[in-house]
Amino acid sequence: MKSKSKLAALSLVTVMLAGVITGCASSNKEGGNASPTAPASSASPDSATKDPYEIAIAIPVFGAVPKDIQAVQDEISEISKAKINATVKLLPISIGAWGQQKNLMTSGREKLDLSFEFGMGYSSSVASGTLKELDNLLDQYGEGIKQQIAPEYLGSAEIDGKIYGVPVYKDYTTGVPGILMRKDLVDKHNIDVSSIKSIDDLDRVFQTIKENEPAIVPLGSGLTLPSDKYVWFDKLGDRYGVLPGFDNDLKVVNLFETKEYEDFLNKMRSWGKAGYFNKDAATSQINGSDLLKAGKSFSYLTSIKPGNLESESRAAGTELVFAPLMPNIYATTSDALGGLWTISTNSENPERVMMFLNLMYTDKELANLFIYGIEGKHYVKATDNSIDYPAGIDSKTVGYSIQSWIYANPSIAYLMKSDLQEMWKLTAEANQKAIKSKALGFSFNSEPVKNEMTALKNVTDQYQKGLETGTLDPAEKLPEFRAKLKAAGIDKVIAEKQKQLEAWAAANQK
Amino acid sequence: MEKAVMAAEALPGITYKKKENRYRKYSPLLIMMVPGLVYMLINNYLPMLGIVIAFKKINFTKGLLGSEWIGFENFEYLFKTSDAFIITRNTILYNLLFIVLGTALAFICAILLNEIKNKLLLKFYQSVITLPHLISMVIVSYLVYALLSPDTGFMNRTVLPWFGVEDGISWYSEEKYWPWILTIVHFWKGVGYSSIIFFAALLGIDEEYYEAARLDGASRVKQILHITLPILTPVITMLTLLSIGRIFYSDFGLFYQVPMNSGALFNTTATIDTYVFRGLMGSGDIGMSTAAGVYQSIVGFLLVIIANYVVRKASKDNALF
């Protein structure tokens, strides 16, 4: 009897556990040897394109895979076939599986040539050896790229003096930090937008809203924090060790120990106590613009780049006005490296892939196809330089679309009719006139201090959101936060960063 | 399938004269075992080779075997942190609570279910208590949020005003409530599912025992204490032993999603799994995450061996192996 019930239970447990265990997938593919082939510098362009080649391109998709992707791929292939005797194969990968899938493709030696890469994953991808060095290829086949991307920005993709990715062409600056407010309420309460010059001027504005509009909160915060874009320092990748004023003579300091940070927290606390934030700001998974869209808040802090005001207004579904809170815009490595295009170490013909990448930066027809799809089917021309969806189709029903910011050079493509038409002119201006951070081009390699980084990440997760949304009292919690950062080894990270920065400065004669 | 063979061996009256004779006799059973074994081998044993990742600095170009060995470097971050104590304490204490209380609750649930004689009602109750198990933790976290949201939550809006608390409690920044909240959520979600095993075991108990007990005038409670409990002891021991093996793991969804990853609650909600996830989310270092998994499973493995040894000393019948 006893053994029988034990048996029955054992088998039941086995079945149940099997259900648990099968949930764990494993990545156990074994990589072969890579033989990095140096580009044959003697080959003439003609012999380089003699044999047909298929270029596999991985792109992240945010949502369903566009249903007409095959048709677009065929059209792209037609262009590339004529120009460089290569066809393309688009590999759309869902954003949720993006990083893992790409690592698996690399270690499984699957066919992968060209790929988008997020700036924040770039240095770890380089460290784990998934990307090809591009310096020689760029010199040989990247003429158009070098014309499009100014050397200081192209150089910001350098790691240990070598380039592994080409930055997407965009606004490479911090943008203008400021506040976006609902225009209807600004008008209703006669708020003088031009008098807002710093965050201290916002007290008055928020008070007006708080008193007169009880149904909404003055400032929405959640997934995005006020300090995300309201920055007075170069965060050097991760905020553990920053350059105040984007210069500070390359002396890295602990942001959380600075007076400015404490003042900022006190300001946030005063707003929090006055009820200017949404109550669940410290835990909300909703970003500022969505809160505004849902009619729950009056404004949010962000930074504005050319064209952003229009797109943010469109996303919020109501007209917004912008008041800048800081005068200058700065160019930093983190901002320059939003996204990059990289060549995989799996590629068997990196020369041809670089030729294609060069086309992505220079060929207008290719850019339009890649971003908007096929003319007549996915878009129609509205004016000479702008387009619209065909009749009866909108952004939700169109058969092909990708995020235009992942494309290598969106500035040569059309703009949507609703976009700011001078956007690319203004972008070029902004990139040119932005004050270059003294550390522009420097990327921090956190590998030597990865244990400390893990601990620091947990400490900041614990305190930062609560403090920066005014939920926690800085008088009580900031000393605790600072002490825990010290215990987690922030000083070691800063020392390491300082060392790397000095080495970088010496190598680049800064 | 192994159990089937064991069961066959346990049959009385069979003597084995020759080895081959025995193999021939059981060859159908052995063949039936093959698919299961192959599955186990591929799905459960082969991936264990991945343990080497924990000791390497992974470079995808060099491949898994070609990457450089770095010894225990990947493990350091788990111990060299000021939070090591908190996360280990939370993981173990919550799991101990879940094991002890969970067994008791599941057992009580199963007995109550067993008392229901109406088939239709039984099915209904069973479905109701098992249903939460099928709900994803992300959804559960929003159900909890609907109760605890500072502005619009049911607790702050409706329940607390009944008791005269008008201000409400900001649940997501008060760490002291969370051991309770997490425990309640855990059992609400899991107790029905774990009671199934006990319930199945209960069904296997011969009705004659109870009949005899009733004739002797034993009350319901007496029957449970003196018949049901002793018969189920092996099952309870075994389930406990198995859960001890997972004592260093935590239900990631419960500890990460349900508290909405709120920083103010970390002292009572951070566990080894959430710590590793938060720390490595940015860098995605698979060496370090594998190290955490290896650490958890080796400690779990040792604990199972030790616990089993202790049980074996006390009562050989109840031990797992």
Round to whole Å and give the CA distance between B144 and B155: 10
pLDDT at B6 over 60: no
Round to whole Å and give the CA distance between B130 and B194: 9
Phi, psi of A85 (to 5 degrees): 55, 45
Task: Check A17 against B242: CB less than 8 A apart.
Answer: yes
Round to whole Å and give the CA distance between B230 and A6: 12
Q: Which of A31, A17, A98 is nearest to A62 (CA)?
A: A98
Please give the residue that has the higher pLDDT: either B97 or A98: B97
Task: Check A345 against B63: CB less than 8 A apart.
Answer: no
CB proximity A451 to B under 8 Å: yes
Q: Which of A230, A254, A256 is nearest to A243 (CA)?
A: A254
pLDDT at B306 over 70: yes
Confidence of residue A111 (pLDDT cuts 50, 70, 90): very high
Round to whole Å and give the CA distance between A313 and A325: 19
Span B55-101, pLDDT tens digits: 998 887 777 788 889 999 899 989 888 788 999 999 999 999 999 99
pLDDT reported for residue A21: 42
Round to whole Å and give the CA distance between A259 and B243: 50
Confidence of residue A393 (pLDDT cuts 50, 70, 90): confident
Query: Whats the size of chain A, residue-wise?
Result: 510
Q: What is the mean pLDDT of residues A87-95?
A: 93
Residue type at position B23: Y
Round to whole Å and give the CA distance between B298 and B51: 11
Q: Which residues of A touch B61 (CB under 8 A)?
A: 31, 34, 106, 129-130, 345
Q: What is the mean pLDDT of residues B3-31?
A: 65
Please give the residue that has the higher pLDDT: either A361 or B11: A361
Beta-strand (E) ranges in A49-100? 53-61, 86-94
Nearest CA in chain A to B285: A124
Task: Check B263 against A31: CB less than 8 A apart.
Answer: no
Task: Check B279 against A455: CB less than 8 A apart.
Answer: yes
Round to whole Å and give the CA distance between A324 and A308: 13
A237: Cβ contacts below 8 Å, ≥ 6 apart = A333, A334, A443, A444, A446
> Using H for helix, E for strand and C for coil, what is the string for B230-276?
HHHHHHHHHHHHHHHCCCCCCCHHHHHHCCCCCHHHHHHHCCHHHHH
Task: Check B80 against A128: CB less than 8 A apart.
Answer: no
Round to whole Å and give the CA distance between B173 and B268: 11
Give domain limits for chain A: 43-172+332-439, 174-328+446-510
Q: Which residues of A touch B285 (CB under 8 A)?
A: 124, 450
Give domain limits for chain B: 75-318
Give the A:B interface size as CB pairs under 8 Å.
180
Q: Are A165 and A117 in contact (CB under 8 A)?
A: yes
pLDDT reported for residue B2: 45
| Helix runs in A259-330, H state only | 259-273, 288-293, 308-316
pLDDT reported for residue A252: 95
Chain mean pLDDT for chain A: 87
Span B205-235, pLDDT tens digits: 988 999 999 999 889 889 989 999 998 888 8
CB proximity A346 to B under 8 Å: no
Q: Which residues of A touch B263 (CB under 8 A)?
A: 282, 461-466
Q: Which residues of A touch B276 (CB under 8 A)?
A: 454
Confidence of residue B24 (pLDDT cuts 50, 70, 90): confident
Q: What is the mean pLDDT of residues B107-115?
A: 90
Q: What is the mean pLDDT of residues A338-360?
A: 93
Query: Whats the size of chain B, residue-wise?
Result: 321
Interface of A with B in 74-113 (CB under 8 A): 99, 103, 106-107
Q: Are A353 and A114 in contact (CB under 8 A)?
A: yes
pLDDT reported for residue A281: 87
Round to whole Å and give the CA distance between A488 and A454: 9
CB proximity A425 to B under 8 Å: no
- Residue A200's Cβ-count burial label (10 Å; 0-12, 13-18, 19+) is exposed
pLDDT at A244 over 50: yes
Shortest Cα–Cα distance, B170 to chain A (Å): 8
Please give the residue that has the higher pLDDT: either A48 or B124: B124
Q: Which residues of B touch A106 (CB under 8 A)?
A: 60-61
The region, left, alpha or beta by phi > 0 then psi within -120 to 50, assigned to residue A436 is beta
pLDDT at B45 over 50: yes
> Using H for helix, E for strand and C for coil, what is the string for B130-168?
HHHHHCCHHHHHHHHHHHHCCCCCHHHHHHHHHCCCCCC
> Any idea which of A23-27, A96-100, A179-183, B15-19 has the lowest mean pLDDT?
A23-27
Q: Which residues of B touch A12 (CB under 8 A)?
A: 196-197, 200
Q: Which of B54, B283, B217 is nearest to A123 (CA)?
A: B283
Phi, psi of A171 (to 5 degrees): -75, 120
The region, left, alpha or beta by phi > 0 then psi within -120 to 50, assigned to residue A111 is beta
Residue type at position A107: S
Tell me how many degrees the CA angle A32-A36-A40 measures, rounded to the nearest 5.
Answer: 145
Percent of chain A surpassing pLDDT 70: 91
Tell me how many degrees the CA angle B43-B49-B55 measures, rounded to the nearest 5.
Answer: 140
Nearest CA in chain A to B198: A9
Span A249-268, pLDDT tens digits: 999 999 999 999 999 999 99
The region, left, alpha or beta by phi > 0 then psi within -120 to 50, assigned to residue A248 is left
User: Which residue matches tokens 């040119």?
Assistant: A432
Q: What is the mean pLDDT of residues A311-325?
A: 89
Round to whole Å and give the CA distance between A409 and A169: 5
Considering only CB atoms, A462 lies closest to which of B58, B266, B282, namely B266
pLDDT reported for residue A20: 43
Round to whole Å and give the CA distance between B288 and B74: 5
Task: Check B239 against A13: CB less than 8 A apart.
Answer: yes
Distances (CA, A) of A325 to A237, A281, A291, A335: 23, 21, 21, 19
Task: Check B173 against A466: CB less than 8 A apart.
Answer: yes
Round to whole Å and give the CA distance between B271 and B274: 5
pLDDT reported for residue A363: 93
Round to whole Å and give the CA distance between A169 and A336: 9
Which of B9, B57, B61 to substitute to test the interface with A, most A CBs within 10 Å?
B61
Class of domain A43-172+332-439 (CATH, top level): alpha beta
Considering only CB atoms, A283 lies closest to which of B242, B262, B282, namely B262
- Residue B152's Cβ-count burial label (10 Å; 0-12, 13-18, 19+) is exposed
Considering only CB atoms, B47 lies closest to which of A26, A33, A34, namely A26
Nearest CA in chain B to A8: B201
Fold of the A174-328+446-510 domain? D-Maltodextrin-Binding Protein; domain 2 (3.40.190)
Strands B68-69 and B56-57: antiparallel
pLDDT reported for residue A14: 54
Q: Which of A338, A342, A408 is nearest to A131 (CA)?
A: A342
Nearest CA in chain B to A12: B197
Considering only CB atoms, B50 lies closest to which of A28, A127, A280, namely A28
Round to whole Å and give the CA distance between A283 and A469: 10
Q: Are A407 and A413 in contact (CB under 8 A)?
A: yes
Chain mean pLDDT for chain B: 87
pLDDT reported for residue A31: 36
Is it true that A43-172+332-439 and A174-328+446-510 share their CATH fold? Answer: yes
Confidence of residue B18 (pLDDT cuts 50, 70, 90): low
> Using H for helix, E for strand and C for coil, what is the string for A181-205?
EEHHHHHHCCCCHHHCCCHHHHHHH
Q: Which residues of B touch A99 (CB under 8 A)?
A: 284
Fold of the B75-318 domain? MetI-like fold (1.10.3720)
Nearest CA in chain B to A120: B282
Please give the residue that has the higher pLDDT: either A116 or B317: A116
pLDDT reported for residue A5: 55
Shortest Cα–Cα distance, A20 to chain B (Å): 12
Which helix (H) or strand (E) segment holds residue B194: the answer is helix B178-203
CB proximity A3 to B under 8 Å: yes
Find how far residue A394's CA is from the centre of its chain: 26
Both tokens of residue A72? 């677009």
Please give the residue that has the higher pLDDT: either A417 or B284: A417
Task: Check B43 against A30: CB less than 8 A apart.
Answer: no
Confidence of residue A184 (pLDDT cuts 50, 70, 90): very high
Q: What is the mean pLDDT of residues A99-112?
A: 84
Nearest CA in chain A to B49: A28
Considering only CB atoms, B61 lies closest to which of A5, A129, A459, namely A129
Confidence of residue A24 (pLDDT cuts 50, 70, 90): very low
What global pTM score does this model have? 0.81
Task: Check A461 against B201: CB less than 8 A apart.
Answer: no
